Structures are given as C-alpha cells and as structure tokens.
C-alpha cells in the first residue's frame, strides 16, 4: 500500500481505495490496477460510463414506470375524488344542520312523515263473503285495528280480529279462533273508501280466499 494524491481534491489517500474517501472521485493512479496507462484510464472511464448508463437507464425506467403504473395516478386521483366527496358530504351535513334534519336520520324522517300523513278512517261494519257470508266489525285506534269477524251462515260466535293499517290503506288482520288464543286466519289487503278487498288465509287448512266486503 502506498499513498497517492487524489487528482480531484488533492488529498493523499491509500491506493487501495477505488474512490477517494474524501471526495468520492475515482482514483486513477491506484496501485491495485496495473501501472497507469491510457488503456487502463479508458477501461476505468468505460466502467464509469457503463455505470452512468446503467444509472440513467434505471432512472428512465423509474420515470417510465411512474407514468405507466396505474396505481400512482389512480391513488392521486382517488385521493382527490375522496376529498371532493368529503366536501360534498360536509356541505350536505351543513345543510342538514341548517334545516334541523340530520342527514343520518333520513329513514326516521320518512317514518315520521308516514306517521304524520293522515290515516284512512276505516272503523265500521263490512259485509260480504269470504267463501260464506261474513260480517267484519272494525274499531280503529290510530294504526291499530281491532274488532270481530262473524260467519253468519253457521250462526257461529264472532271471532276476535286485530291488526294494523297503514296510511295507504293496506291492512293486516289476524283472526283468533274460538279458544281466544290460537290464530285461525290471516286477512291481508286494502281498505279504500267503503271497500275492503284482500286475501283470507285459513291458517289451519292453508287455503286462501280472495274477498271483497263493503261498509
Ligand atoms: Zn479526493
């Protein structure tokens, strides 16, 4: 090992170094290669050139990939879209606060509107036929319906019915059997004006009957 002078920074450094430890310049005069000659200089320059070309190639590849890889662009665009969406959501929330209706409570709002819209007045006595002459007496308390159903032909006792009605007039009633406990039938349909139409399901035979009764 001997000391050589770095041609770039002038510092005396070991010739076992490939590059100057001070300024990172290539040490052309180092002893580990054959004595200096033009050929060796060119060889070192060539190696340096190859390394430079390789570095440029890698740089170009990185640039090209960053252009063509969809992930980077997509991420940026997505990020922007998300921000924009967040702004829209925030604006909606602001508006909701102004009107006193939180955006989250849209379903509750709809339910309230339904409850507030007028219910049809359906209380009364409906006569007609469900396979056999039938009389239904209905009482109404808001959406709650209760009353009796009687099949007049058989001189049978009136059976209890109860259920509910919606603002659009659609109703659901359950008929309770003579034991006053076991459901014996289900009536589903629509009450419009004085007319009750629907389907009766006999829950013991599973048979259905379409019916129309009038007030
Ligand atoms: Zn140096």
Query: What is the C-alpha to C-alpha distance for residues 135 and 154, in angstroms, rounded to an integer?
Result: 12
28-66 tens-digit pLDDT = 765 544 444 454 555 555 666 777 777 888 877 777 777
Total domains in the chain come to 2
**Residue 78 lies in domain:** 69-99
pLDDT < 50 regions, the chain: 32-37, 39, 72-79, 81-82, 101
Q: How far is the CA of 15 from the centre of ligand 1 (A)?
A: 12
Residues 85 and 148 in one domain: no
Q: How far is the CA of 7 from the centre of ligand 1 (A)?
A: 7
In this structure, what CATH number is given to the domain that contains residue 186?
A: 2.40.128.120
Supply angle C-alpha 142, 195, 174, rounded to 5: 55
Q: How far is the CA of 29 from the centre of ligand 1 (A)?
A: 12
Taking the model in full, what pTM does it have? 0.47
Residue 119 lies in a domain: no
Residues 206 and 148 in one domain: yes
Residue 157 lies in a domain: yes
Q: How far is the CA of 116 from the centre of ligand 1 (A)?
A: 89
Query: What is the C-alpha to C-alpha distance for residues 199 and 215, in angstroms, rounded to an integer?
Result: 17
Q: How far is the CA of 13 from the centre of ligand 1 (A)?
A: 8
Region of 131 please: left (phi>0), alpha (psi -120 to 50) or beta: left
Sole residue written with tokens 């009364």: 124
Residue 58 lies in a domain: no
Residue 36 lies in a domain: no
Query: What is the C-alpha to C-alpha distance for residues 5 and 11, in angstroms, rounded to an integer?
Result: 6
Residue 145 lies in a domain: yes
Q: How far is the CA of 12 from the centre of ligand 1 (A)?
A: 8
Residues 133 and 168 in one domain: yes
Q: How far is the CA of 6 from the centre of ligand 1 (A)?
A: 4
Q: How far is the CA of 27 from the centre of ligand 1 (A)?
A: 8
Q: How far is the CA of 10 from the centre of ligand 1 (A)?
A: 6
Query: What is the C-alpha to C-alpha distance for residues 19 and 11, in angstroms, rounded to an integer?
Result: 12
Report the helix count and the strand count for the chain, using DSSP H and E.
3, 10
152-170 tens-digit pLDDT = 987 789 999 999 999 999 9
């Amino acid at each position: 090992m001997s000391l050589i002078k770095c041609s770039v920074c002038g510092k005396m450094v070991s010739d076992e170094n490939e590059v100057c430890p001070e300024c990172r310049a290539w040490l052309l005069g180092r002893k580990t290669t054959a004595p200096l000659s033009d050929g060796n200089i060119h060889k070192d320059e060539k190696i340096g050139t190859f390394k430079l070309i390789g570095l440029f190639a890698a740089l170009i590849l990185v640039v090209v990939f960053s252009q063509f890889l969809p992930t980077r662009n997509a991420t940026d665009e997505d990020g922007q879209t998300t921000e924009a969406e967040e702004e829209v959501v925030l604006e909606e929330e602001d508006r909701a606060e102004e009107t006193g209706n939180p955006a989250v409570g849209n379903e509750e709002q709809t339910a309230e509107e339904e409850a507030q819209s007028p219910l049809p007045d359906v209380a009364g006595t409906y006569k007609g036929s469900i396979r056999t002459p039938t009389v239904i007496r209905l009482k109404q308390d808001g959406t709650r319906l209760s009353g009796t159903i009687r099949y007049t032909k058989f001189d049978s006792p009136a059976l209890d019915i109860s259920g509910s009605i919606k603002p659009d007039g659609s109703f659901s009633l359950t008929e309770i059997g003579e034991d006053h406990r076991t459901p014996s039938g289900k009536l589903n349909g629509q009450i419009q004006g004085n007319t009750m139409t629907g389907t009766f399901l006999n829950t013991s035979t599973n048979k259905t009957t379409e019916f129309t009764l009038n007030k």
